[in-house]
Structure 1
């Protein structure tokens, strides 16, 4: 049995995971949405990160639970994040820690290998890394958390594809603030 690979991120209504300048300020989650992300982290067998997303996450979450005013939800997420096994994909050598290992070789080949192993579900994050997996047909599920904002440009959630990818809708959920989760499975 192969592991499943899910690409899930917050996205603007016009399809971007980050606004120009890597601005993420439009995607602040409600408490309910934050708990949904935390529960995903708890259920993830292996998280695959691109370099830029790794740098963003690892600059905050390793010590977020020790910051003044850390909420119980942030304390829980920080612990789950540190404990979750991670693979960080980068073409250059960068420091990784907190239950992570660095992958500098062919990302598609490594993701293909990881999918063939036993283990829990895998999540992939980072638009560039996910685009390579998307083009290679490796993504089994898309979890799109759409925020009601138009940012006008930046890093797109979806990449250009050579072939259509047919999907089945498996879940919809509304979060406070008009944020909508849609989960789709790839039809194989």
Structure 2
């Protein structure tokens, strides 16, 4: 059975973006990009919220056509275009680039997706992650902690009533100081 993997970059103080949606503090070098390329290439699909999907769709479909982008960046553009994607949005009616639009998170439909053959499904976007967590649909966390404090912005995990026991399954330090923390659930959410 496929798993839902919440994957996100965060500042050391837990933010996924600054107060003006800036992510220029993300430290992505060739080593980390190569890691992302290998990881996403093996995934069965990408699940994202509208904002995250539109940010990706504004850049990645043609990123490999820019002569300034080569190597791992150009490689990721091809991976992203071909990967099946589901965008969860109440406002979008359609999306391009191998993308299906879902208007709500339906646990039965997610269970059916997980039962399909293929690789795990990567989940991104703070609002969508919050809904998947609330519904107990996340199986694994891959959190990439960037070596920066930004002080304020949008947290990956906002304050709330959700409590989950986690088991650390992997850590990896990249040369640029980013640290991967990989967790699986050790007890159900409550």
Category of TM-score, reference length = shorter chain: over 0.9
1:40 aligns with 2:39: yes
Distance in 1 (CA, whole Å) between partners of 2:111 and 2:64 is 34
Q: Root-mean-square deviation (CA), in Å?
A: 1.6
Output the CA distance in 1 between the equivalents of 2:183 and 2:33: 20
- Structure 2 residue 160 is the aligned partner of structure 1 residue 154: no
Once residues 143 and 74 of structure 2 are traced to their aligned partners in structure 1, the CA distance between those partners, rounded to angstroms, is: 25
Give the structure-2-normalised TM-score: 0.91
The answer to whether the Cα contact below 8 Å between 1:169 and 1:184 also exists between their aligned partners in 2 is yes
The Cα of 1:103 is off from its aligned counterpart by 0.8
1:101-112 to 2 correspondence within 5 Å? 101-112=100-111
Instruction: State how many pairs are aligned.
Output: 187
Whether the aligned pair in 1 keeps the contact of 2:27 and 2:178 (CA below 8 Å) is no
Give 1:154 deviation, angstroms. 1.5
Instruction: Report what 1:62 is aligned to.
Output: 61
Question: Within 2, Cα distance between the matches of 1:77 and 1:125?
Answer: 16
Partner Cα separation in structure 1 for residue 130 and residue 106 of structure 2: 11
1:51–1:186 distance in 2 versus 1, CA, 3 Å: same
Whole-Å separation in 2 of the counterparts to 1:94 and 1:69: 33
Q: Is the 8 A contact 2:43 2:120 kept in 1?
A: yes
Whole-angstrom CA distance in 1 between matches of 2:15 and 2:107: 23
Structure 1: tracts of 5 or more residues without a match: none
- Work out the CA distance in 2 between the residues paired with 1:79 and 1:20: 31
CA distance in 2, matches of 1:95, 1:55: 12
Q: How far, CA to CA, are the matches of 1:70 and 1:163 in structure 2?
A: 41
- Provide the C-alpha distance between the structure 1 equivalents of 2:44 and 2:159, rounded to a whole number of angstroms: 28
Counterpart mapping for 1:77-156 below 5 A:
77-156=76-155
Per the alignment, do residues 132 and 109 of structure 1 end up closer, same or farther by CA in structure 2, a change over 3 Å counting? farther
Please say if residues 49 and 125 of structure 2, whose CA atoms lie closer than 8 Å, have aligned partners that are also in contact: yes
Structure 2 residues not aligned, in runs of 5+: none
The SS at the match of 2:10 is strand
Q: How big is the shift at 1:108?
A: 4.3
Structure-2 change in CA distance of 1:105 and 1:163 (3 Å): closer
Which SS does the other structure have where 1:48 is aligned? strand
